[in-house]
Amino acid sequence: MSAPASAHVTPLRRFLWVLAALLALLALSAGSALLKLGAFNTVLNLGISVAKTLLVMAVFMHETEARKLTRLASALGFVWLAMLIALTLLDFLTRLHVPAPW
C-alpha cells in the first residue's frame, strides 16, 4: 500500500474484467462436474481455483501494483498455506483404501 497522499487507484474496467473472469471460471468449474474425467475432474477444479485465487490476489489485493518485496512477502504467505494443505492431504491421499467391514 502506498502512502495515503499518493493513493493509487485501480481503473474500474480492470475490476469489472476480473469479476467477469471469476464468474466465467466459476461456471466452467461447476459445468466441469457434468463431464466424466475421473481424477482429472479434481485436477481441473483445483486448477480453476488456483487461477481464480491468482486473479483475486493480483487485482483485488493489489499485488500487481505493489512493490516487489511486498509481493514476495504476500506470495510466501499463500505458498506456506499451500504447503500446509498439501502436507495434510499427503496423509489422507497416501492411505490404503480399506472398505468398511459392515
Partner 1 sequence: MAVLLISSTAIALGVRALKLGQRRAAMALLTLTAALGLTFLVMHGFEYYREYGEHLVPGLDFSQPGATAAAVELFFCLYYFITGFHSLHVLIGVVIILVLARQVARGAYGAQRFTTPELTALYWHLVDIVWIFVYPALYLIGRSG
Instruction: Compute the least distance from the CB of residue 10 to partner 1, in Å.
Output: 6
Q: Which positions lie near partner 1, rule CB under 8 A?
A: 1, 4-5, 7, 9-10, 12, 15-16, 18-19, 22-23, 26, 29-30, 32-38, 41-42, 45-46, 48-49, 52-53, 56-57, 59-61, 99-100, 102
DSSP state of 35: S
Cα separation of 2 and 57, whole Å?
17
Residue 11 CB neighbour total at 10 angstroms? 8
| Nearest residue (CB) to partner 1, 33 versus 76 | 33
Query: What dihedral angle (degrees, nearest 10) is formed by the CA atoms of 22, 81, 96, 37?
Result: 20
Instruction: Compute the least distance from the CB of residue 77 to partner 1, in Å.
Output: 10
| Nearest residue (CB) to partner 1, 17 versus 68 | 17
Q: How far is CA 100 from the centre of its chain?
A: 35
Query: What dihedral angle (degrees, nearest 10) is formed by the CA atoms of 7, 2, 12, 77?
Result: -160
Instruction: Compute the least distance from the CB of residue 96 to partner 1, in Å.
Output: 15
Instruction: Compute the least distance from the CB of residue 68 to partner 1, in Å.
Output: 19
